[in-house]
Amino acid sequence: MLTASLVMLAAFTVIYLVTYGNIERENQQRLKSVSAMFFVPNHIPPAGAMNGDFQPPTIPERFSVDYGVSFVLFVKDGRLENVNSQLNFEYSVYREAFEKVGTADKGKIILADRKWLFTVVPTPPKVESLNRQPIDMQYTRIVFLDITNGIKILQTLMLTLTGVGAGVLLALFWLSYHFALRAVRPIEESYNKQKRFIADASHELRTPLAIIGANVEAIETNGEESVESQKEWFGYIHAALNRTGKLLEDLLYLAKSEGLKNEDNLPFDLSVICERVCASMEAVLYDNGVSMETDLEKNVIAIGDSEKIAQVFYILLDNAGKYTPQGGKIQFTLSRANDRAIARVTNSGDGIGAEDLAKIFDRFYRTDASRSTETGGFGLGLSIAKTIVDRSGGIITAESTGGLTTFTVKLKPG
């Protein structure tokens, strides 16, 4: 923005200076033209209006519109002798102009509420009359040119450039501000996610470490007892260690897979994978009082890592089983549509709110923390599923309406 402001300031300065120079040159040319034309007065003021003896007009001269609004004072021996003027000024105005010039050779004055440019030009000692007889008239001429309009043009230009410059700067500031916000927003979101990730990971690790610490203290308290008699405490320690190991393994996978594509993507029979996963999970779901219906199209070939894609469906079915009430139902469908292999896992239940849907694939995010604690989840399953699908070049989405929650996985066809 600073660079744009400097460039604009330089451009506007050049425009103003060029315009100023052109107007000044034009004024000087007009002033020169007037001074070169009028050598003798052609207007006689009334008697006593000015000091000095007035001469009658010798050459009937007229002002041209090309010269602009101007008049000429004729001075001899330091006294105002006569004028040539196209204006109906009182003679006192001409005397005021003469007095304001003083001893200056050129310059600018304000007269009759207008701005005038003037120059003092000595008249040649001899000029020719109409009958070509030389006239010896030793006048010094003071030529005046009205430059008020030129100054107004410059003032208008200055106001215009200032207004345009201010408007452009405001527009640049607004654009810069909004582009800066857009540029910073992903960084801010990434920073906030990182902070939340560290806080959530610390929270998840705190629980198994607390369990291990408590059981070690219990063992130390009963130090005289045998290992066999304290197998219960050791069992709790092993369970906590296994839980911690699983958490670290999941975190390591997510860290390694961030933004990468799977180089092991190969065509595989997705129908076979889905049948195997459903067969493995059906008994587990049945024990939890949840039924499962399947509708799997045969010979659906997809591109990806078959074992990792199987893990995705294990995660989705396990997640659906945890949040489907007893007596509820899960539907698993597989089909081909629009050159995609499409698998859907739908479960009945309370559903997921719109606010939660936008964050459902975030790490450690759980719609019901208390419920997730009971089921032993870390809130990493769906994040891992999304990472696997992304690495396979596919898409995973979630929607929840009317008490039904559906996760859809779309993979590239083989």
Q: Are 225 and 391 in contact (CB under 8 A)?
A: no
Calculate mean pLDDT across residues 69-76: 87
Instruction: Summarize the confidence of residues 24-48 as an average pLDDT.
Output: 71
3-state SS, residue 340: strand
Q: What angle do CA 268, 273, 277 make, to 5 degrees?
A: 165
Max mean pLDDT range (130-144, 146-160, 261-275): 146-160
pLDDT at position 341: 93
Cα separation values, 347 from 322, 330, 366, 388, Å: 10, 4, 17, 22
The overall average pLDDT reported for the chain is 80
How confident is residue 210, by pLDDT bands cut at 50, 70 and 90?
A: confident
Per-residue pLDDT of 164-192, as tens digits, reads 888 888 888 888 888 888 888 888 877 77
Going by the DSSP 8-state scheme, the letter that residue 330 receives in this structure is E
Instruction: Supply the pLDDT for residue 368.
Output: 60
pLDDT at residue 405, rounded to an integer: 92
Predicted confidence at residue 133, as pLDDT, reads 54
Take residue 390 and report the two structure tokens written for it.
Answer: 């992304």
Q: Does the structure show a pLDDT above 50 at 27?
A: yes
pLDDT at 52 over 50: no
Give the model's pLDDT for residue 272.
Answer: 94
Average pLDDT over residues 297-308: 90
More confident residue, 68 or 143: 143
Residue 85 has pLDDT above 50, yes or no: yes
Helices (H), 38-124: 91-101
The pLDDT value recorded for residue 260 is 58
182 vs 56 pLDDT, higher one = 182
Q: Is 410 helix (H, G, I), strand (E, B) or coil?
A: strand
Q: What is the pTM of this model?
A: 0.50
Greater model confidence, 186 or 119? 119
Residue-wise pLDDT for 120-148, tens only, equals 987 665 555 545 555 555 778 899 999 99
Going by C-alpha positions, the residue among 280, 397, 104 that lies closest to residue 411 is: 397
